Amino acid sequence: MSVVDNDKWQKMIKKRHKKIARRVMIYDIIMAVRENFKAFMITWVIVILVNQIFIFGACFAIYCLVAALPHTSVIAILITYFMSKGED
């Protein structure tokens, strides 16, 4: 193999490694988003159940649930944020 062919192969291998590294990075980001969303949903379900039982007097009618969505979502976002920040 000549030096030119060897350089060509090395450049091709580096390019391939960059593509693979990029795919792994994207996969890691997607998995982190998935885990954070799962934690958020679990937290939100717990918060909305506690909210409906103690604040709305165990009202699970659709208008009670819709009224609870905004503030329970914010509370769940904050809890999930501080829980995930503690893991870092």
Residues of the chain with pLDDT under 50: none
The radius of gyration of the chain from alpha carbons, rounded to an integer in Å, stands at 24
Per-residue pLDDT at 4: 56
Where in the chain are the domains?
3-87
Gap between the Cα atoms of 38 and 25, Å rounded? 20
The pLDDT score that the predictor gives to residue 84 is: 84
pTM of the predicted protein model: 0.74
